[in-house]
Copies of this chain bind each other. A is one copy, B any other.
Amino acid sequence: MNRYPMPELKDVPEDIRQRILEVQEKSGFVPNVFLALAHRPAEFRAFFAYHDALMEKEGGLTKAEREMIVVATSGANQCQYCVVAHGAILRIRARNPLVADQVAINYRKADITPRQKAMLDFAMKVCLRSHEVDDADFAPLHAHGFSDEDIWDIAAITAFFGLSNRMASFSNMQPNPEFYLMGRVPKQKK
């Protein structure tokens, strides 16, 4: 279904193979985005360096909040791969089996805090009407305790996943079936 060939693991450069093997080790499968982008090693490296710089860094946003931005952005851009894959990650990060679907469909009705709604309002403005962002958009974020560096994080995550959404949609990237159920069923204690 993917429009471009996905290389086999044995054919990708060593550093990329290592990264993929680590993900496989951690998740139990290789998310298709890794193989799809491995088609272009230089872009693969830049993409994941950017991803990690935004998603793994310290700061005022929790990891779950970062994933909320990804899911809301991907919903606005109607990106199937990213809503399904990052919806799974959001459920796990937020330890909440319901929130990802809510944020993807209409974050305004999601069971999130007013601070998180303000965060997503801003993300959606950057996503859909970045040319209209002005000083008045920063005030409600400051009022909710976001620093200017946090606001950069919100904007940058939105912008980066706008790139990701366009790459996934244009190339018809398919979400792995595993993502659909991840984080939905509470793990049973043994």
What is A's interface to B at a CB cutoff of 8 Å?
A: 1, 3-4, 40, 42-43, 45-47, 49-50, 52-54, 57, 75, 77-80, 83-84, 87, 97-98, 101-102, 104-106, 108-111, 126-127, 130-134, 138, 148, 152, 155-156, 158-160, 162-167, 169-172, 177, 180-181, 184-185
Contact partners of A77 in chain B: CB under 8 A: 130-131
Find out whether the CB atom of B131 lies under 8 angstroms from the CB atom of A169.
yes
Copies of this protein in the complex: 6
Find out whether the CB atom of B46 lies under 8 angstroms from the CB atom of A42.
no
Contact partners of A47 in chain B: CB under 8 A: 46, 50
Find out whether the CB atom of B40 lies under 8 angstroms from the CB atom of A45.
no
Contact pick for A155, options B164, B167, B184, CB 8 Å = B167
Contact pick for A185, options B75, B167, B169, B185, CB 8 Å = B185
Find out whether the CB atom of B45 lies under 8 angstroms from the CB atom of A49.
yes
